[in-house]
Amino acid sequence: MTKTPRGVRVRRAVCKALFVVGGVITLVCVLLPIACWRDDVAIERSMGQAVAQVDSVSFNRTVVRYATPDGRVIIPSQGVLYPAGLNVGDNVRVEYDQTNPELTRVAGRTAVLSLLPVGTFLVSVWIVIAVVVTVLRRFGTRV
C-alpha cells in the first residue's frame, strides 16, 4: 500500500475546506433573504406608518427617529431596514410593526431588495472557489 504524497493530501484538504466554507456561506446567503421576508411578514401583520427623520447614516446601520400615534418617539436600535439612498436629515415614510416598533423598514421596500446583493456575493464566492480549486487540481504539482 503506497502513501499519497503530502502535497496531494494538503491540496485535497484545502479543496474540501473551500467547499465547506462555500457551503456555510451559501447557507447564510439563503437564510438572509428568508430572515428579511420574516421581518416583512411581521411588519405587514401589524403595520403602523409614520414619517421618520434620518439621524445618522453609517456602513452598518441607518438610524431614524419617528413618533407613533400614541406620542412615543421611536429610535430603532438596529436601524431601519432597506436604507439605501437615505441621507442625514431626510424625511422618509416608514412602516413598522406596532407590536415591536424596533422593527422598522422604509415604506415600499421589501426583502426582494436583498436578492441582488446576496445573489451577486454568492456567485462571486463560488467563482473564486472554483478558480482556486481548479488551480490546485491542475497546477498542483507545479505550485
In a domain, 1, yes or no: no
Single pTM value for the model: 0.78
Here the CATH number for the domain that contains residue 72 is: 2.40.50.100
CA angle 25, 31, 32 (to 5 degrees): 90
Range of the domain at 66: 6-139
β-sheet with 100-106: strand ranges across: 73-74, 62-67, 47-57, 91-97, 100-106
pLDDT, tens digit, for every residue of 43-92? 999 999 999 999 999 988 999 999 999 899 999 999 999 999 999 999 99
In a domain, 71, yes or no: yes
Query: Is the model more confident about 1 or about 85?
Result: 85
Domain count, the chain: 1
Q: Is the pLDDT of residue 24 over 50?
A: yes
Cell numbers standing for residue 86: 437615505
**Beta strand residue intervals within 7-134, DSSP E:** 47-57, 62-67, 73-74, 91-97, 100-106
